[in-house]
Amino acid sequence: MDLERAYRETGPKIVGYLVSCGADEATARDVLHDAVERVSRMMEEREPSNLPALLFATARNLFKNRLRDGARLDFVEEVDDDLCAKSPDAGRQSFDARPIDAPYLRRRIKAALAALPPALRESYTLYQIGGRGAAEIAELTGVTENHVNVRIHRAKLALKKMLSDLKEEM
């Protein structure tokens, strides 16, 4: 089976599956097109035995990556605290409406990141703040992808420990 035929036959099913997983139709179609491009590149190296299954698995994984990437925190260089204070909900936590000292939190997070060992800090910031994947970080840093994942995990544990006093009891 060629890729065009697999796309025509399984494309609508893949879009339906992605929509059922929470994607809007436009996103589902984008993911499908990205999957077709990726499978096309894969086919240059070797012919897959089950093209529709490969297309489906690739689309599913790309969608999962998008969900994961969308869950990352977005950091900005500076936040105007005066502007935030003008918002009726600014400086409040949704679960109990206690005020948050945003400048204090930024200082604590910045200090915690600075306290990480350089290798952990580099991998973590490239992943979490830079939005790069483990494979890309591995290529940039010259270590294996598994080692990058370990560094990110260790950085998360260290940050959680350093900032544990900020966690409120529910």
For the domain that residue 106 is a member of, what is the CATH number?
1.10.10.10
Give me the domain span that covers residue 44: 3-70
Would you call 35 exposed, middle or buried from its count of C-beta atoms within 10 A (0-12, 13-18, 19+)? buried
Look over the chain and give the mean of its residue pLDDT values, rounded to a whole number. 80
Asked if the structure places residue 131 within a domain, the reply is yes
Do residues 118 and 156 both lie within one domain? yes
Asked if the structure places residue 96 within a domain, the reply is yes
Q: Which residues pair with 99 in a beta bridge?
A: 92
Locate all alpha helices (DSSP H) within the chain, ordered by sequence. 3-20, 25-45, 51-70, 81-85, 102-115, 118-124, 134-141, 145-162
**Residue 89 CB: number of other CB atoms within 10 A?**
9
> DSSP letter at 73?
-
Do residues 33 and 91 both lie within one domain? no
The pLDDT-based confidence of 23 (bands split at 50, 70, 90) is confident
**Which segment of 35-44, 122-131, 155-164 scores lowest on mean pLDDT?**
122-131
pLDDT for the residue 75: 52
Q: Which residue has the higher pLDDT, 71 or 43?
A: 43
User: How far is residue 155's CA from residue 85's CA, in Å, rounded to a whole number?
Assistant: 32
- What is the number of domains present in the chain? 2
Asked if the structure places residue 20 within a domain, the reply is yes
Do residues 135 and 60 both lie within one domain? no
Sign for the CA dihedral angle at 104, 107, 109, 111 comes to negative
pLDDT for the residue 78: 56
Q: Is the pLDDT of residue 80 over 80?
A: no
Do residues 162 and 97 both lie within one domain? yes
Tokens of 80: 């105007």
The pLDDT-based confidence of 89 (bands split at 50, 70, 90) is very low
User: How far is residue 151's CA from residue 120's CA, in Å, rounded to a whole number?
Assistant: 5
Q: Which residue has the higher pLDDT, 147 or 122?
A: 147
The pLDDT-based confidence of 140 (bands split at 50, 70, 90) is confident
Calculate the dihedral angle through the C-alpha atoms of 15, 18, 24, 25, rounding to the nearest 10 degrees. 0
Q: Cβ(119)–Cβ(133) under 8 Å?
A: no
**Which segment of 59-63, 77-81, 115-119 scores lowest on mean pLDDT?**
77-81
